[in-house]
Amino acid sequence: MITVEDATAQVLSRISVLKPERVPLLAALGRVLAEDVISDIDVAPFDNSAMDGYALRHADVEGATEQAAVRLAVIEHIPAGVQPQKMVGAGQASRIMTGAPVPVGADAVVRVERTRPCEGQGGPGGSVQILTSAKLGENIRGRGEEVKAGDAVLLIGEVVGPAAVGLAASVGHADLAVHRRPRVAIVSTGDELVDVRQKPGPGQIRNSNSYSLAAQVVDAGGEPHVLGVARDTEESTRALLGRAGEFDLMVTTGGVSVGDFDVVKKVLEEIGELDFWRVAMRPGAPQAFGTIGGTPFFGLPGNPTSTMVGFELFVRPAMLKMAGFTSLFRPRVNATLTHDVSKKVDRRYFLRARLVPSGDGTYSVAAADNQSSALLTAMHRGNCLLSLPEGESFIPAGSTVMCIRLDMGEGTA
Amino acid sequence: MITVEDATAQVLSRISVLKPERVPLLAALGRVLAEDVISDIDVAPFDNSAMDGYALRHADVEGATEQAAVRLAVIEHIPAGVQPQKMVGAGQASRIMTGAPVPVGADAVVRVERTRPCEGQGGPGGSVQILTSAKLGENIRGRGEEVKAGDAVLLIGEVVGPAAVGLAASVGHADLAVHRRPRVAIVSTGDELVDVRQKPGPGQIRNSNSYSLAAQVVDAGGEPHVLGVARDTEESTRALLGRAGEFDLMVTTGGVSVGDFDVVKKVLEEIGELDFWRVAMRPGAPQAFGTIGGTPFFGLPGNPTSTMVGFELFVRPAMLKMAGFTSLFRPRVNATLTHDVSKKVDRRYFLRARLVPSGDGTYSVAAADNQSSALLTAMHRGNCLLSLPEGESFIPAGSTVMCIRLDMGEGTA
């Protein structure tokens, strides 16, 4: 049996980054840039006002205060989107709106709250009292202050968040080249499986894994394709596993444990290549990985929790690598164990657990009472996987243990 | 001017939770349950094997070891999904697959790795050597061990994650009642705005806010509806703001500052109600909130960063409340400021900043050099909003400051 670390390394060494595609801005959200995003303009494109107020010469208002206001003649009104027509001379000001171009001659803007209108309500032909001094350039956003035409505003490999979407839009990109979302085929195996809408008969069980896996795929930024249930025959299994080439990744559940009804392994050895099929871990030692005609293949165990944990540890990082991410693992945090744990010495354990902040930046963690791998309840109520290493058989309460945070995304510091 | 706290409280007091809707399981992912999810079956539905192995009477293998194996006659092979036909008597065992029903008479399962096949390869009619003792009930998952029919497996108000999807599927729910995703209308205002595909002429600027806002709406779990640009006339503004009733929420950008070209406020006072329109904060003091015919309305300022910050502080929590979430705010963390900050005493500042873990559970934080509210670069490269309270005008390096983590979702401990 291979260790979790070796298995992870082996999986990732087999995974290539998917080709980029060009998609509309909003569809790029959450994905990884496949090219630098270059500005076609200066931002700001012109010197403009950061405030509603009056554009003026700062020398004219030196020493101005509420008590010693300076009166200026208002020569123009400049709304946003309109080019100024008049030069501001000494003793003059133009009323200016936020975002409007600063007129020639003016070198500062005083916000309207620090002014008092006189004749003509402070509009053109009238006058205004300025109640404060202004620094050179105050409330003026300079042309090219953010970006100059030709500058890269977003870099290849960066993740597109809402601010990146806005940045790209402001520099003329209605679409972006990003890495493709992995298309993931999901196959459940087993004669005992019935659809969620059916009431299971004796010995039968609902096919819940294809739903939880599809949700995990969506959560990891992929596109799930549920292909259905492979029955326990080589024909049925071959028919579904043979479709791997249509997808970026195939995940099966069940059919990879030791028993002789386990045809998945047999078919996989026939039409694909098997890298490993057991990992020294619990839950879910039967964790197969290989390729079918070049498509990476994950054979996860059939117990619901084992399936989810296997997906977390192996499939999710693989999907993230495919999608161009460089941060592939969820944050890990140390915590104080609140109770004793006994375990098998030769396995890495991943207990469904709940991490609680102690208030001083440290954490305590308690495993769920029921760790049965058939139960998703503990997985649902927990917020982490408590990882207990090989080589230990008893971990006493108070020990410092490592937890994988399931409530946080990769790359969170 | 109202404080950020008062503004937030006033916004949330006006927001009601949206009606539930019934959606397919996968569409419920990330949403809030509007009803308990009740199991229609016992889970497990029958006593079944947790391992591939042999079902037997534990008394028969007491004291068995590698060196002192116990030989049992194999009477049956029980695959998953098949009902056992034979009772296991003393000295007998049935080969059993993971998930298969435990036959009458057996009270434990020994996994296949702890057995050695003898005659008939350990199949029916043959025999098997058991190399270990077994505890009563070992490797048997009892009927109803997880859940009994009629039990609630998921509770109203819980967020549907991948494990909840799997749990719901396993207890017979192909769809779930969850709160609706808020439908959010986005209106940009201003004569100076041009489409992202157009090259801005003199005095013009690209309408990037409708893209960044749409991305923020998606990120907050909502459905963005970009209605277009309201020009600086009452007619144009009234035409778009008048559509508020078609949506759960309306957000505008621009047109809420002091200037007289700001018609949004005028129209809003005519067709709606204004609760507040200035908040003691920077960036973005002009932050309007009110209702139009009962639909909550947010008038965010037009500077790209001010728009995003206003969305984060006011719109996002409102959307989350609408969608049924009870945890409405992103996690806050204390950090050590790495540099001095000067600020206006009467405003709460929200600086775009980067939080860095120090390795011992504490954090340091540095604001981006350029805090211009026209720039989304600092927002893109940052991972938090550094919040500096009113009442302070100088915060020296080394101070402990509060940061709102933009890289983590609400409810993360």
CATH number at residue A294: 3.40.980.10
A307 and A189 in one domain?
yes
Residues on chain B touching A412 (C-beta within 8 angstroms): 407-408
Instruction: State how far the Cα of B254 lies from the Cα of B247, in Å rounded to an integer.
Output: 20
Contact B46 A167 (CB under 8 A): no
Determine the pLDDT at residue B57. 97
Q: How far is CA A76 from the centre of its chain?
A: 48
Which range (A116-125, A257-266, B379-388) has the least confidence? Answer: A257-266
Instruction: State how far the Cα of B271 lies from the Cα of B159, in Å rounded to an integer.
Output: 37
Q: Stretch B210-219: mean pLDDT, rounded? A: 98
Q: Write out the H or E segment, with its range, that includes residue A241.
A: helix A234-241
How far A321 CA lies from chain B's nearest CA (Å)?
Answer: 20
Q: Stretch A86-100: mean pLDDT, rounded? A: 93
3-state secondary structure of B322: helix
Whether A383 has its CB under 8 Å from any CB of chain B: the answer is: yes
pLDDT in tens, A151-202: 999 999 999 999 999 999 999 999 999 999 999 999 999 888 999 999 988 7
Q: Which residues contact A102 (CB under 8 A, 6 or more apart)?
A: A46, A47, A48, A49, A55, A84, A96, A109, A140
Which range (A21-30, A209-218, B118-127, B346-355) has the least confidence? Answer: B118-127
Check residue A169 and report its DSSP letter. H
Q: With a cut of 50, say whether residue B260 has pLDDT above it.
A: no
Determine the pLDDT at residue A277. 86
Whether B166 has its CB under 8 Å from any CB of chain A: the answer is: yes
- Domain holding B137, by residue range, is 48-141
CATH number of the domain that A372 lies in? Answer: 2.40.340.10
Instruction: State how far the Cα of A282 lies from the Cα of A343, in Å rounded to an integer.
Output: 9
Domain C-terminal end among B287, B322, B357: B322
Q: With a cut of 70, say whether residue B116 has pLDDT above it.
A: yes
Contact A412 B408 (CB under 8 A): yes
**Secondary structure of A261-273 as H, E, C letters:** CCHHHHHHHHHCE
The residue with greater pLDDT, A320 or B287, is A320
B339 and B238 in one domain?
no
Q: Stretch A13-29: mean pLDDT, rounded? A: 97
Question: Nearest 5°: phi and psi at A194?
Answer: -125, 160
B228 and B135 in one domain?
no
Instruction: State how far the Cα of B82 lies from the Cα of B101, in Å rounded to an integer.
Output: 7
Instruction: State how far the Cα of A48 lies from the Cα of A55, in Å rounded to an integer.
Output: 10
- Residue located via tokens 């005083």: A110
The answer to whether the bond into A283 is cis (omega within 30° of 0) is: yes
Which one of A193, A205, A413 has the shortest CB-CB distance to B356? Answer: A413
Determine the pLDDT at residue B144. 87
Question: Taking the CB of residue B109, how many other CB atoms lie within 10 A of it?
Answer: 29
Q: Is residue A274 part of a domain?
A: yes
Q: Is residue B188 part of a domain?
A: yes
Determine the pLDDT at residue B90. 96
Contact A200 B45 (CB under 8 A): yes
Q: With a cut of 60, say whether residue B258 has pLDDT above it.
A: no
A396 and A277 in one domain?
no
C-alpha triplet A327, A331, A332: angle, nearest 5°: 130
A317 and A301 in one domain?
yes
Q: With a cut of 50, say whether residue A72 has pLDDT above it.
A: yes
Q: Stretch A49-53: mean pLDDT, rounded? A: 89
- Tell me if A4 sits within 8 A of A313, measured CB to CB: yes
- Tell me if A55 sits within 8 A of A78, measured CB to CB: yes
Structural tokens at position B119? 């005659």
How far A375 CA lies from chain B's nearest CA (Å)?
Answer: 6
Amino acid at A20: P
Q: Is residue A413 part of a domain?
A: no
Integer distance in angstroms from the first to the last C-alpha of chain A?
33
Residues on chain B touching A261 (C-beta within 8 angstroms): 79-80, 97
Q: Is residue B200 part of a domain?
A: yes
A126 and A32 in one domain?
no
Determine the pLDDT at residue B192. 85
A217 and A89 in one domain?
no
Q: Stretch A40-68: mean pLDDT, rounded? A: 92
Residues listed for chain A: 413
Determine the pLDDT at residue A254. 85
Structural tokens at position A13? 């060494």
A271 and A188 in one domain?
yes
Domain C-terminal end among A287, A322, A357: A322
Instruction: State how far the Cα of A332 lies from the Cα of A408, in Å rounded to an integer.
Output: 10
Contact A40 B196 (CB under 8 A): no
B312 and B347 in one domain?
no
Determine the pLDDT at residue B263. 82
Q: Is residue B244 part of a domain?
A: yes
- Give the helix, strand, coil percentages of chain A, each rounded to 5: 20, 35, 45
**Buried (b) or exposed (e) across B347-359, using 16+ Cβ within 10 A?**
bbbbbbbbbeeee
State the number of CA atoms in the 13 A half-sphere of B364 facing the CB: 8
CATH number of the domain that A30 lies in? Answer: 3.90.105.10
Instruction: State how far the Cα of A155 lies from the Cα of A165, in Å rounded to an integer.
Output: 13
Contact B204 A259 (CB under 8 A): no
- Residue located via tokens 């406020």: B265
Determine the pLDDT at residue B44. 80
Q: Is residue B413 part of a domain?
A: no
Check residue A41 and report its DSSP letter. S
Instruction: State how far the Cα of B120 lies from the Cα of A321, in Å rounded to an integer.
Output: 47
Whether B145 has its CB under 8 Å from any CB of chain A: the answer is: yes
C-alpha triplet B157, B162, B163: angle, nearest 5°: 80
CA nearest neighbour of A50 among A125, A110, A1: A110
- Tell me if A323 sits within 8 A of A249, measured CB to CB: no
List B residues 11-30 in contact with A (Cβ-Cβ < 8 A): 25-26, 29
Q: Is residue B411 part of a domain?
A: no
Pairing of strands B53-56, B92-96: antiparallel
Could you tell me the pTM of the whole model? 0.88
A53 and A9 in one domain?
no
Determine the pLDDT at residue A257. 57
**Buried (b) or exposed (e) across A240-263, using 16+ Cβ within 10 A?**
bbebbeebbbbbbbbbbbbbebbb
Q: With a cut of 80, say whether residue B355 has pLDDT above it.
A: yes
Q: With a cut of 90, say whether residue A375 has pLDDT above it.
A: no
Instruction: State how far the Cα of B240 lies from the Cα of B131, in Å rounded to an integer.
Output: 78
Whether B345 has its CB under 8 Å from any CB of chain A: the answer is: no
State the number of CA atoms in the 13 A half-sphere of B329 facing the CB: 12
Q: With a cut of 60, say whether residue A259 has pLDDT above it.
A: no
Q: With a cut of 80, say whether residue A255 has pLDDT above it.
A: no
Q: How far is CA A206 from the centre of its chain?
A: 32
Tell me the longest C-alpha to C-alpha distance in chain A.
Answer: 96
CATH number of the domain that B73 lies in? Answer: 2.170.190.11
Query: What angle do the packed helices A209-219 and B162-170 form, to 10 degrees?
Result: 160
CA nearest neighbour of A193 among A176, A206, A184: A206
Contact A45 B205 (CB under 8 A): yes
Q: With a cut of 90, say whether residue A122 has pLDDT above it.
A: no
The total domain count for chain B is 4
Domain C-terminal end among B300, B322, B344: B322
Question: Taking the CB of residue A358, how many other CB atoms lie within 10 A of it?
Answer: 11
3-state secondary structure of B11: helix
**Secondary structure of A42-98 as H, E, C letters:** CECCCCEECCCEEEECHHHHCCCCCCCCEEEEEEEEECCCCCCCCCCCCCEEEEECC
Structural tokens at position A279? 């990992």
Q: Which residues contact B27 (CB under 8 A, 6 or more apart)?
A: none
pLDDT in tens, B152-203: 999 999 999 999 999 999 999 999 999 999 999 999 998 889 999 999 887 7
Determine the pLDDT at residue B295. 97
B345 and B218 in one domain?
no
- Tell me if A167 sits within 8 A of A37, measured CB to CB: yes
- Tell me if B352 sits within 8 A of B207, measured CB to CB: no
Q: With a cut of 60, say whether residue A273 has pLDDT above it.
A: yes
What residues does B106 pair with on adjacent strands?
A: none
Sign of CA dihedral A285, A286, A290, A291: negative
Contact A98 B259 (CB under 8 A): yes
Distances (CA, A) of B241 to B18, B232, B234, B267: 21, 13, 10, 8
Instruction: State how far the Cα of A250 lies from the Cα of A299, in Å rounded to an integer.
Output: 8
Average model confidence (pLDDT) for chain B? 92
Q: Is residue B375 part of a domain?
A: yes
Determine the pLDDT at residue B261. 47
Contact A376 B163 (CB under 8 A): yes
A25 and A13 in one domain?
no
